Amino acid sequence: MKQLLLSLFLVASTGLFAQTTILDFESPMTSTTYQYFGSSLEGTLNNIIANPDPSGINTSAMVADHVKPAGAQTWAGAFPNPALQIPADMTSDNQVCIKVWFPAPGNVGIKLEGSSTGPNWLNTVDVTEAQTWTEVCVDVNTPSIEAPNEPAFGHVYPTVTLFFDFGTSPAEDVTYYWDDLTTQSGGGVTDGDITFSVDMNNYTGTFTTVYVSGTMNGWSGDGNPLSDPDGDGIWTGTIVDIPLGVQEFKFTVDNWAAQEDFGGKSYTCTITDPSGQFTNRKLVVAGDMELPTVCWNSCYACGEAVNITVDLGASHITVDPAGMFIAGGGNFGNPGDFPLLDADGDQVYSRTFERPKNFESFFTFTNGACPDYSCKEDIAGQDCANPGNFNDRHMGPVTQDTTIATCFGICTTDTDCGGGPMEVNVTFSVDMNDYTDPFTTVYIAGEFNGWSGDANALTDADGDGVWETTLALFPNDYEYKFELDNWAVPEEFMDGDPCTVTDPSGQFVNRIISVAGDTSVCYIWNSCDACETNATRDLVYDATLFSVNPTLVNQFTTVRFDANIAEEKVLRLLNATGMVIREMTVAPGQSDVELDTSTLPAGLYLIHVQTDQRMATARVVKQ
């Protein structure tokens, strides 16, 4: 029987008898650029260039390049933009082939997407020849290496996404070339001979023989015995002609006298039936395979796994009826995939994960199963938040069995959340009276709802032009904006506007609010003017009206007025929510006012000054 690597199938072109060209870059119909994702080139397009090595099997004039930059995500790739004019029709062809030129051996990942009848499909194929043109093919009769692990044959796919050296992140930029993306028909595999291997050295009971029991043998308890002829404790055996696709199995001993038990933990190699009753090992058959040796009741070799127990305290919040979840980081799925359970009702939600030794990952918690992450905890500004990765938490490298104990929304090291912050009510209002274009609804988007465009709508019940909503938030600093009709029109601020902060890249300027307790904030749309200063809209904004020194304050700061101002001035000190915390009248002719900031909590503050005809605002930050 053919010897194939898991999920890889290389076919020589000589055995194929039909071919459809999707892309060869020689005509408008068979040309398009590809848009990068998952790297520093995100959003940019590749190039169609003259063939840099017109030799061997590819002497055509034009080819495409693909650059994988240093530090790219392991899943970085590119998709067609504009869209393909010729889809990948797998209703008769069963191979997707591509000619590639690699600087060093590697692999190509080919993903078929967007079918109206079939699932997305991904597979990879090794590129063994370097610095020469070679053609590689994947057989769509084989199961996808991604869930739901089904074949793509029989469906039409309008999008073919490409990955070069899938699963690796390069240390330096790598350039590849590719051409002649085609579908072809030819021979393929229909089953596989699978060699199983289990290490029983850590098994504490007594037994005579180890068996493989699964869907491939009707869950027989003694149909497929394994053997250990050298007595090293590792039992092996081969089952032949297993059909392609997803199979389930377990190792058992002595005709079901004992079986592996995968209950109570999250494993990377198992699958649970919809009822939740049965959890078994998962096997995707794509040809002949020799499975790695695993420890009894583990997805990994003996001594190479760790148990990570997550205990999440939730006594300080109202838990969503859907429950609590761990998510993110590329290892814990989306909200809803990995529930945490509170079996004893003590408001601590727990789950244990078996992962390989030295495992590390970002992660977060969600209160509910929200696909858009709007129910994600917000720990921005706390010491366990990583601002470079969505303010998620991080674990690892984990070298031994570990328990992570913490509280939802709080960077604690235990599950006693009683002394932690409680949610408070924050009312956000925006005055839309000066906005003249048509709109339907005002929304607020920010860190507290994953920047969702429609998760939190404001209302104007009394028709006075002031829209408002109240949100329950944990005490913290939050960035946000008001926007219209699900991001149809967002507020736009300039770097340095006094009620805003600018991200380190300089791309995003957002409002900021410091939440310490129940509070309310009201601003004029697209302005740092609070609603209380609504009557000042006819005043002239004059940035020379006053200056502040220093702006990064500790004990005192000095407000210095334009020497030419002979009129009375009103000075107000506002916190980041727009609340006036001090107000004073400055006499005509007085040039300096010293503000005592020693008793102020750390955070952002606004200084607003107005006269009968002019006004200006500046911001200071209390350390």
Q: What is the DSSP string of 301-337?
A: -TTSEEEEEEEEE-TTSPPPTT-EEEE-TTTS-STTS
Question: Residue 283 pLDDT > 60, yes or no?
Answer: yes
Q: What is the DSSP string of 206-234?
A: --S-EEEEEGGGTT-SSSSB-B-TT-SSE
CATH of the domain at 592: 2.60.40.3080
Q: What is the mean pLDDT of residues 469-498?
A: 89
Does some domain include residue 144?
A: yes
223 & 282 share domain: yes
pLDDT tens digits, one per residue of 134-157: 999 999 988 898 878 888 988 999
**Model confidence band, residue 25 (pLDDT cutoffs 50, 70, 90):** very high
Q: What is the mean pLDDT of residues 430-445?
A: 93
456 & 477 share domain: yes
The one-letter amino acid at 578: G
Q: In whole angstroms, what is the distance from residue 127 CA to residue 391 CA?
A: 38
Q: What is the mean pLDDT of residues 515-529?
A: 88
The one-letter amino acid at 515: V
Q: Identify the pLDDT of residue 461.
A: 85
Does some domain include residue 256?
A: yes
- Cα separations (Å) of 67 from 8, 41, 71, 76, 96? 23, 8, 12, 10, 22
Instruction: Yes or no: say if 540 and 479 are a contact pair by the CB < 8 Å rule.
Output: no
Please confirm whether the linkage preceding 550 is cis (ω < 30° from 0). yes
Least confident of 70-79, 182-191, 583-592: 182-191
Q: Identify the pLDDT of residue 16.
A: 40
84-87 long-range contacts (CB < 8 A, ≥24 apart) are 84/22, 84/23, 84/32, 84/158, 84/159, 84/160, 85/29, 85/30, 85/32, 86/20, 86/21, 86/22, 86/23, 86/29, 86/30, 87/22, 87/156, 87/157, 87/158
Q: Which residue, among 27, 14, 160, has the nearest Cα to 96 in the 3D structure?
A: 160
Query: Which domain-ending residue is among 381, 407, 433?
Result: 407
Query: Which domain-ending residue is among 295, 328, 345?
Result: 295
Identify which has the larger pLDDT, 387 or 580.
Answer: 387
Does some domain include residue 567?
A: yes
Q: What is the mean pLDDT of residues 331-358?
A: 92
SS (H, E, C) 418-482: CCCCCCEEEEEEEECCCCCCCCCCEEEEEHHHCCCCCCCECECCCCCCEEEEEEEECCEEEEEEE
Q: In whole angstroms, what is the distance from residue 620 CA to residue 92 CA?
A: 68
455 & 550 share domain: no
Could you tell me the two tokens for 590?
């007085």
398 & 331 share domain: yes
Could you tell me the two tokens for 166?
């899938």
Q: Identify the pLDDT of residue 403.
A: 97
Q: Identify the pLDDT of residue 10.
A: 35
Could you tell me the two tokens for 542?
């004059």
- Cα separations (Å) of 540 from 37, 183, 369, 592, 611? 46, 67, 49, 22, 10
Coil, strand, or helix at residue 13? helix
Query: Which domain-ending residue is among 160, 185, 210?
Result: 185
Does some domain include residue 258?
A: yes
CATH of the domain at 212: 2.60.40.10
Kindly report the CA angle at 231 between 229 and 235, in degrees rounded to 5?
65
401 & 432 share domain: no
Q: In whole angstroms, what is the distance from residue 396 CA to residue 361 CA?
A: 7
Q: Identify the pLDDT of residue 11.
A: 35
Q: What is the mean pLDDT of residues 358-378?
A: 92
Instruction: Yes or no: say if 396 and 331 are a contact pair by the CB < 8 Å rule.
Output: no
Question: Residue 5 pLDDT > 60, yes or no?
Answer: no
**Model confidence band, residue 98 (pLDDT cutoffs 50, 70, 90):** very high
**Model confidence band, residue 231 (pLDDT cutoffs 50, 70, 90):** very high
Instruction: Yes or no: say if 594 and 558 are a contact pair by the CB < 8 Å rule.
Output: yes
Instruction: Look at the block and give the residue holding tokens 């490298």.
Output: 397
Instruction: Yes or no: say if 78 and 68 are a contact pair by the CB < 8 Å rule.
Output: no
Q: Identify the pLDDT of residue 281.
A: 95
Q: Which residue, among 442, 440, 473, has the nearest Cα to 457 in the 3D structure?
A: 442
**Model confidence band, residue 536 (pLDDT cutoffs 50, 70, 90):** very low
CATH of the domain at 146: 2.60.120.430
Q: In whole angstroms, what is the distance from residue 213 CA to residue 283 CA?
A: 12
Q: What is the mean pLDDT of residues 98-115?
A: 96
Percent of the chain with pLDDT over 70: 94
Neighbour count for residue 195 (Cβ, 10 Å): 14
Q: Identify the pLDDT of residue 532.
A: 63
Instruction: Yes or no: say if 125 and 155 are a contact pair by the CB < 8 Å rule.
Output: no
Q: In whole angstroms, what is the distance from residue 441 CA to residue 545 CA?
A: 37
SS (H, E, C) 342-403: CCCCCCEEEEEEEEECCEEEEEEEEECCCCCCCCECCCCCCCCCEHHHCCEEEEEEECCCEE
Instruction: Yes or no: say if 363 and 328 are a contact pair by the CB < 8 Å rule.
Output: yes
Does some domain include residue 382?
A: yes
Does some domain include residue 533?
A: no
Percent of the chain with pLDDT over 90: 57
Question: Residue 128 pLDDT > 60, yes or no?
Answer: yes
Q: In whole angstroms, what is the distance from residue 81 CA to residue 79 CA?
A: 6
Does some domain include residue 531?
A: no
23 & 141 share domain: yes
Q: Identify the pLDDT of residue 188.
A: 62
Neighbour count for residue 223 (Cβ, 10 Å): 15
**Model confidence band, residue 538 (pLDDT cutoffs 50, 70, 90):** low
455 & 477 share domain: yes
Question: Residue 268 pLDDT > 80, yes or no?
Answer: yes
**Model confidence band, residue 405 (pLDDT cutoffs 50, 70, 90):** very high
Collect all residues with Cβ–Cβ distance below 8 Å to 338 and sequence separation of at least 6: 266, 325, 326, 327, 332, 351
**Model confidence band, residue 420 (pLDDT cutoffs 50, 70, 90):** low
Could you tell me the two tokens for 398?
């984990």
Q: Identify the pLDDT of residue 244.
A: 79
Instruction: Look at the block and give the residue holding tokens 């736009």.
Output: 492
Collect all residues with Cβ–Cβ distance below 8 Å to 536 and sequence separation of at least 6: 529, 610, 615
- Count structural domains, the chain: 5
175 & 41 share domain: yes
Question: Residue 506 pLDDT > 70, yes or no?
Answer: yes
Alpha carbon 441 to chain centroid distance? Answer: 29
Q: Identify the pLDDT of residue 142.
A: 87
Question: Residue 257 pLDDT > 60, yes or no?
Answer: yes
Please confirm whether the linkage preceding 148 is cis (ω < 30° from 0). yes
The mean pLDDT of the chain is 88
pLDDT tens digits, one per residue of 239-253: 999 987 778 999 999
154 & 63 share domain: yes
**Host domain of residue 244:** 191-295
Q: Identify the pLDDT of residue 585.
A: 85
177 & 234 share domain: no
269 & 130 share domain: no
**Model confidence band, residue 543 (pLDDT cutoffs 50, 70, 90):** confident
> Highest mean pLDDT: which of 47-56, 459-468, 612-621?
47-56
Question: Residue 2 pLDDT > 70, yes or no?
Answer: no
353 & 442 share domain: no
Q: What is the mean pLDDT of residues 210-216?
A: 97
Give the strand pairing for 592-596 and 580-586.
unpaired
Q: Identify the pLDDT of residue 299.
A: 96
